[in-house]
Amino acid sequence: MNSVQLSKRLKQVADYVEEGARVADIGSDHAYLPCYLADQGKINFAVAGEVVQGPFNNAVKEVRRTGLEDIVEVRLNDGLMVLKPEDRIDTVTIAGMGGALIRSILEKGRDNDRLTGEETLILQPNVFEETVRGYLMEQQYRITDEAILEENDKIYEIIKAVPSDTPVTYSKKDLLFGPYIGKERSETFKKKWTQQMNTNEFIVGQMEQSSHPNEEKLASLKEEIKLIKEMIE
């Protein structure tokens, strides 16, 4: 069997997967994550889902290269539509997409009975993490783990959530910064939000020079700057 190497980002996603899980990796791209998990003997079954033919073909090749066809099945369809009831998936991983797209995939999965709401979700949005956390709160999911890391000059957040028996409430700060990484406030966290604050301040400066600025957008940016300063100073 040919071993599988993961990026730092995907390795963190893999670390959040429980032993013996049955995984759906959506937007799998080469199926690196499910192949790694299967290679490590950590999972019993995985579906690697792709919506585009090229990445689907790459995933098929990777599964064959690693000799993991008995554990990892590659399927072509839109998001969670790749799943079947008999898959008995208990963990969904979605990495490397925008927060709005991740939310859309999860919503469509629920609407089409591909998700039961009992699955563990491990999500790595490239942007708009707040959108993902907001969806988790709405769907009564409790965030149990979070990580923030830097790789190749990009900063990523990984969020693990499980269904809750009781309503879940997060503050605006929790949604924006993360209930865990917002408390830890690592150097990577401070770097990310310093950059975001500088971007916001530049945009505010540009807007204030306009004769007809979007007042709602301006107020929102100023509020976010205030929250960021409270977190990093």
pLDDT digits (tens, 9 = 90+) for 69-95: 999 999 999 999 999 999 999 999 999
Phi, psi torsion values for 62, nearest 5 degrees: -65, -40
* pTM, two decimal places: 0.95
Does 2 score more than 70 pLDDT?
Answer: no
**Average pLDDT of the segment spanning 221-229:** 97
Alpha helices in the chain (DSSP H): 8-15, 32-39, 53-66, 99-111, 129-138, 172-177, 181-184, 187-208, 215-232
Q: Which amino acid is at 25?
A: D
**Average pLDDT of the segment spanning 3-24:** 96
pLDDT for 121 equals 99
pLDDT band at 3, cuts 50/70/90?
A: confident
Q: 5: helix, coil or strand?
A: coil
pLDDT for 233 equals 86
Cα angle 127, 167, 91 (rounded to 5 degrees) comes to 55
Nearest partner of 11 among 31, 32, 26, judged by Cα: 32
Name the average pLDDT for the chain.
Answer: 96
pLDDT for 211 equals 87
Q: Which amino acid is at 110?
A: R
pLDDT for 6 equals 95
**Average pLDDT of the segment spanning 34-55:** 97
**Average pLDDT of the segment spanning 23-44:** 97
Calculate what percentage of the chain has a pLDDT beyond 90: 95
Does 21 score more than 90 pLDDT?
Answer: yes
pLDDT for 1 equals 52
Calculate what percentage of the chain has a pLDDT beyond 70: 99
- Reduced DSSP (H G I as helix, E B as strand, rest coil) percent helix, strand, coil of the chain, to 5: 45, 25, 30
How far apart (Å, rounded) are the C-alpha atoms in residues 158 and 180?
11
Cα angle 214, 217, 222 (rounded to 5 degrees) comes to 120
Alpha helices in 3-125 (DSSP H): 8-15, 32-39, 53-66, 99-111
**Average pLDDT of the segment spanning 149-170:** 98
Helix 32-39 with 8-15: angle, nearest 10 deg: 50
Q: Which amino acid is at 94?
A: I
How far apart (Å, rounded) are the C-alpha atoms in residues 125 and 132?
8
Does 143 score more than 70 pLDDT?
Answer: yes
Count of CB atoms situated within 10 Å of the CB of 149: 16
